[in-house]
Chain A
Amino acid sequence: MITAGLDIGSCTIELVVLDEDRPIFTRRSETSFDYPEQVRALLSETEYDRILVTGYGRHLVAREFGMGHVTEIKAHAAGVHHLVPEARTILDIGGQDTKVISLDKQGKVTAFEMNDRCSAGTGRFFEVMAQALACRIGELGDLALSGADRLRISSMCTVFAETEVVALRARGEAPEDVAHAVVVSVVYRVSSMIRRVGLREKAVFCGGVARNKAVVQILAQELGCGLFVPEAPDFTGAMGAAILARGS
């Protein structure tokens, strides 16, 4: 059976099409304001027997296209369990939210935590910080890793943290040290969220922010355990939805 999974995130949309367990088609695009239009364009390129939609925009798309929907919590769990059956803890940092999910052996969700409505510590937070540091989002990780651990950013609010970054720059601090501080501030927040749910190995880190090497490395140090990052960390939600579509 050919199944498809769509993950409508706040920044990007991912589509995964599976022929049984084998991905035969993956695509992503910007979410944009009119995301049903984006979805229509993505789907026109492929064919499938069943589809499920997940992510922030799932309700609208499910209504518009008559699809079934699952939460991103369940979708990530299914996707990660498929890729890494030993996974017991999932950290997902997307464009606008952070989730920690605890799994059992069967890949069933046993507990989860999500940040509340603000974008503190999410992909959006890093975008704003990169802008304040005048670097590309893809370079922020390398920049942070080249910096020293000597500054602290205390505000987790994106807006206030940006003010702090600007102030540090005005004080003449090196951008790499400021970038390091930005990453550390997120790592502290995320690690306490992980501990709230309970850290059990193997821990898997997915979502777009998992592409930031500095977050992965510093968080792994803070947690004192390895963090496995899938090859395409932003596709686990869509992958999970495609897997769940089989039984839908």
Chain B
Amino acid sequence: MNKTHEAMWKELDLDLGAHEALLTVLGRFYNDIYLSQSGRLQGMEYLDFVMGEVHGLRIREIQEARSAGRKVMGLFCVFVPEELILALDGICVGLCAGAEAGFDAAERHLPRNTCPLIKSFFGFRLARLCPYTSSCDLVIGETTCDGKKKAYELFGDFQPTYVMEVPQSKSAAARVLFRTEMDRLRETLERLTGRILEPQRLRDAIRLVNRRRSALNRLAALRAAEPAPISGRDALLINQVAFYDDPVRFTETVERLCAELEERVQKGEGVAPPRTKRILVSGCPMAVPNWKLPYVIEGSGAVIVGEESCVGARHTRDLVSEQAETVDGMLDALCDRYLRIDCATFTPNPERLDNIVRMARELHADGVIHYALEFCQPYAIESKKVENRLAAEGIPFLRVETGYSLEDIEPLRTRVEAFLETI
């Protein structure tokens, strides 16, 4: 990472020494896990560049936009409707939450046995390591799980934080609540940006985000090809960058990547030899640079063909209807779309089981590896339902529960290798 950004990081009040160390580790990690792969797509160069500049040029762009009066919203979950933010000329960024950074600082506020995702976004903020968090005018949280819900209360002491209430069931009453929350978020954002939500701009935002989802869905569908045309690591990275990059530029990149992939599929080329075992990963989100499990799976000779995850299909699968003409109609459409998300915080959540089975079949997966972050009760408990359903469908299943630390990588590898030996 070059020194040209140092003044900016200083301005953002980052801990320069610790940040430099973090970027060094991240760079080494990226090199081992990503750049060492063979047969990558040419289009991945853009993503390598984005990752190289993830705390650099992208942050600079965001600072320039802020100087021009645009507001930056930090998001942490796929439930926050990005369309509202974009329609009000805001910028959405994902918060750093995928590395064991600042855990000691975080543990001064949070219990040790808190999910690593939560500990990480706290740690990044407290240890002053995340330029995204530092660039935010508002962090928009949600009540998806108890851990996040209560952590936002504490996080509010460090940074302006708004919490959107997400219901835990899909009843009619829950929909009414969520619709009210849409209005409340709209009012908050209108106040913050000093703009009024206009139908034309909301319609454009809906179309833009739909277009990005469609591009990612097109990429996801191409992974059904045998041999797999792209590694799971690269596909995950693309889905991760979706949360950081400018949506227009990103969508165009993914569309170009898809064209390259289509050519590859037509020629019958792939990243792994034919008959490589194909794995669907299902469960918790993997934030940058949480590439541990994909690295273990693909390092054990399999290829990942899909992510049934918030950084993956849960983020992109459903589109918002583009029929509505009025702002209220569009907010209804957003409400309908967002409540189709099959997060494990819902009870009951049968759609998720159907979606996992459908993905496993469509992507010709030989097995499903269920990934729960440590201390993530919703996914860890729901994994039993996934196990039962997949057993009934005759799809091999492995359950993995792990955090961000690398110390359990060998036991993890043993489990994954043994699973691959059985299928």
Contacts and interface: CB of A to CB of B under 8 A. Distances in A.
Given A71-B414, A73-B414, A109 B421 contact: yes
A82 interface: no
B318 interface: no
Interface stretch (A26-34, A111-119, A173-181): A111-119
B422 A117 contact: no
B213 to A, nearest CB: 36
A59 B410 CA distance: 9
A136 interface: no
B422 A108 contact: yes
A114 B415 contact: yes
Contacts of B413: 59
Contacts, number: 35
B417 interface: yes
Contact of B411 (A70, A74, A97, A108): A97
B421 A114 contact: no
Nearest to A110: B422
Contacts of B407: 117
Contacts of B414: 56, 71-73, 114
Contacts of B415: 114
A117 B421 contact: no
B408 A71 contact: no
Nearest to B402: A116
Contacts of A116: 401-402, 408, 411
A73 to B, nearest CB: 4
B418 interface: yes
Interface string B373-412: 0000000000000000000000000000110000110110
Interface residues of B, number: 13
B422 A109 contact: yes
Contacts of B410: 56, 59
B422 A114 contact: no
Contacts of B408: 116-117
Contact of A109 (B401, B402, B411, B418): B418
A114 B411 contact: yes
Interface in B158-209: none
Contacts of A114: 411, 414-415
A181 B408 CA distance: 29
A74 B423 CA distance: 12
Interface string A80-115: 000000000000000001000000000011111010
A47 to B, nearest CB: 28
A108 B422 CA distance: 7
Contacts of A112: 418, 422
B192 to A, nearest CB: 44
B421 A73 contact: yes
A110 B408 CA distance: 24
Nearest to A115: B411
B401 A71 contact: no
Contacts of A110: 422
A198 B411 CA distance: 22
Contacts of A72: 414, 418
A114 B401 CA distance: 11
Nearest to B407: A117
Contacts of B401: 116
A70 to B, nearest CB: 7
Interface of A: 56, 59, 70-74, 97, 108-112, 114, 116-117
Given A71-B414, A111-B422, A114-B411, 12 more contacts: A56-B410, A72-B414, A73-B418, A97-B411, A109-B421, A112-B418, A114-B415, A116-B401, A116-B408, A116-B411, A117-B407, A117-B411
Q: Which 6 A-B pairs have the closest CB atoms?
A: A73-B418, A71-B418, A117-B408, A109-B422, A71-B417, A74-B421
22 contacts: A56-B410, A59-B410, A70-B421, A71-B421, A72-B414, A72-B418, A73-B414, A74-B418, A74-B421, A97-B411, A108-B422, A109-B418, A109-B421, A109-B422, A110-B422, A111-B422, A112-B418, A114-B415, A116-B401, A116-B402, A117-B408, A117-B411
